[in-house]
A = this chain, B = another copy of it.
Amino acid sequence: MKNFIYDIGTKIYFGKDQIKNIGDIVQSYGKKALLIYGGGSIKTNGIYDAALTYLKQKNITVEELSGVEPNPRIETVRKGVTLCKENQIEVIVPIGGGSVIDCAKVIAAGAFYEGDAWDLVLDPKKITHALPIISVLTLSATGSEMDTFAVISDMKQKEKIGTGHPLLRPKASILDPTYTQSVSKYQTAAGTADIMSHIMETYFSNKKGFMQDRIAEALLKTCITYGKKAYENPDDYEARSNLMWASSWAINDFIKLGKEEAWTVHPMEHELSAYYDITHGVGLAILTPHYFEFILDNTTVDKFCEFAHNVWEIPYEEDKYQMAQKGIDALKEFFEKLHIPKTLKEVGISEEYFDEMAQKASSRLKGAYRELTKEEVKQIYQRAL
């Protein structure tokens, strides 16, 4: 196990009606809040009204930024930064899924930055201060509610880039599983794939970490059991609870500390979203099995057998490659059961930009489980086509 520092300070209010605590939580950080949200569904499902009521009970002044995009844009971040500076905002309160929280994170840092917020996306070292973030989660997927990362897009430049800093980790997050019961089947499936991808990016690593990998398997089994249940029965509270809690732990550092490495599938997928604005989790689900088959060789086969056995209950057998393939097939079948598209074509992606996308993605794989070349990334895109 490598040396590490564990420091996950996010306080989680988990369960039904935890929104009632939002006034108290926000109050302990300031009196002027910026509420950030997306397309406005929180206004029809009652979350917006509840949040405002409890914030006003504590005399919190509220400014608003709405319309955050599913792949949040730098233009929206800039608007938020301006609102913070003009209104002396003290606390940032994103209500939504990962996009809204990611957007809020860069706004929180941008509020203290003199230059353009895109600098903070390109170079996280420029983040030196950030406003406290109190998030209210409405979608189980990115884990942004408990982690330090944010992914922001500049669609004009066809850039989708991840940044991250310990200061961006939310101080507290409200996780009410009932908020996710209205999430569509498609988004539930995509969210589940996203959570699983976060876990697998860390699970497949050259660094040893027995406990970390057993925990990773525990989280994957949670996604497999409850992703399907939530897909089939959106109101299943137990399923929504388990998915929501798993989403936070997939990427909050716990399973990676002691065995950290750079990721592979996420950088490859970010190019798909940057060029075609597709749903992130769907892109991950399409690419992952092809990536796995591509890297299956003598150096990885034992890890794939471990995956097959411990996650999918596939019995050990003499032919390790056959067993490894069964694990990958089980993953494919799981995504199929969630009716996630299986090819890039299905989500409107052609070969047109494969060259530049592969170029960009391969430049971001330094230190990964497999450092793929541009040509290798292109081959994976082609297999997924």
Within A221-265, the residues touching B (CB, 8 Å) are: 221-222, 225-226, 237-238, 241-242, 245-246, 249, 257-258
Min CB distance A25 to B, Å, is 11
Min CB distance A370 to B, Å, is 23
Q: Most B CB atoms within 10 A — which of A8, A15, A17, A215?
A: A215
Q: In this assembly, does A13 line the interface, its C-beta being within 8 Å of a C-beta of chain B?
A: yes
Contact B226 A221 (CB under 8 A): no
Q: In this assembly, does A14 line the interface, its C-beta being within 8 Å of a C-beta of chain B?
A: yes
Report B-chain residues with C-beta under 8 Å of the C-beta of A6. Answer: 11-12, 14
Q: In this assembly, does A9 line the interface, its C-beta being within 8 Å of a C-beta of chain B?
A: yes
Q: Determine which of B7, B11, B15, B222 lies in contact with A3 in the assembled complex, contact meaning CB atoms within 8 Å.
A: B15
Q: In this assembly, does A82 line the interface, its C-beta being within 8 Å of a C-beta of chain B?
A: no
Within A1-52, the residues touching B (CB, 8 Å) are: 1-9, 11-18
Q: How far is the CA of A332 from the CA of B305 in the complex (A)?
A: 29
**A-side interface size class:** 35 or more
Report B-chain residues with C-beta under 8 Å of the C-beta of A225. Answer: 210
Q: In this assembly, does A122 line the interface, its C-beta being within 8 Å of a C-beta of chain B?
A: no
Contact B5 A8 (CB under 8 A): no
Min CB distance A145 to B, Å, is 11
Q: In this assembly, does A168 line the interface, its C-beta being within 8 Å of a C-beta of chain B?
A: no
Contact A245 B1 (CB under 8 A): yes
Q: In this assembly, does A214 line the interface, its C-beta being within 8 Å of a C-beta of chain B?
A: yes
Q: How far is the CA of A4 from the CA of B241 in the complex (A)?
A: 12
Contact A5 B13 (CB under 8 A): yes
Report B-chain residues with C-beta under 8 Å of the C-beta of A56. Answer: none
Q: In this assembly, does A345 line the interface, its C-beta being within 8 Å of a C-beta of chain B?
A: no
Q: In this assembly, does A90 line the interface, its C-beta being within 8 Å of a C-beta of chain B?
A: no
Contact B15 A4 (CB under 8 A): yes
Min CB distance A193 to B, Å, is 18
Q: How far is the CA of A237 from the CA of B219 in the complex (A)?
A: 26
Q: In this assembly, does A217 line the interface, its C-beta being within 8 Å of a C-beta of chain B?
A: yes
Contact B15 A11 (CB under 8 A): no
Contact B8 A14 (CB under 8 A): no
Contact A5 B1 (CB under 8 A): no
Q: How far is the CA of A7 from the CA of B211 in the complex (A)?
A: 22
The chain B residue with its CB closest to the CB of A239 is B210
Contact A218 B214 (CB under 8 A): yes
Report B-chain residues with C-beta under 8 Å of the C-beta of A5. Answer: 11-14
Min CB distance A236 to B, Å, is 12
Q: In this assembly, does A208 line the interface, its C-beta being within 8 Å of a C-beta of chain B?
A: yes
Min CB distance A368 to B, Å, is 23
Min CB distance A219 to B, Å, is 7
Q: How far is the CA of A15 from the CA of B257 in the complex (A)?
A: 11
Min CB distance A277 to B, Å, is 32
Within A199-219, the residues touching B (CB, 8 Å) are: 208, 210-211, 214-215, 217-219
Min CB distance A235 to B, Å, is 15
The chain B residue with its CB closest to the CB of A246 is B211
The chain B residue with its CB closest to the CB of A215 is B218
Given A1-B241, A1-B242, 12 other A-B contacts at CB below 8 A? A1-B177, A3-B14, A5-B11, A7-B12, A14-B258, A208-B238, A210-B222, A210-B238, A211-B218, A211-B245, A214-B222, A245-B258
Q: What 8 A-B pairs have minimum CB-CB distances, sorted nearest first?
A: A3-B15, A214-B218, A6-B12, A1-B241, A211-B222, A218-B218, A7-B11, A215-B218
7 CB contacts below 8 A, A to B, read: A1-B242, A2-B15, A5-B12, A210-B225, A211-B249, A214-B219, A215-B215
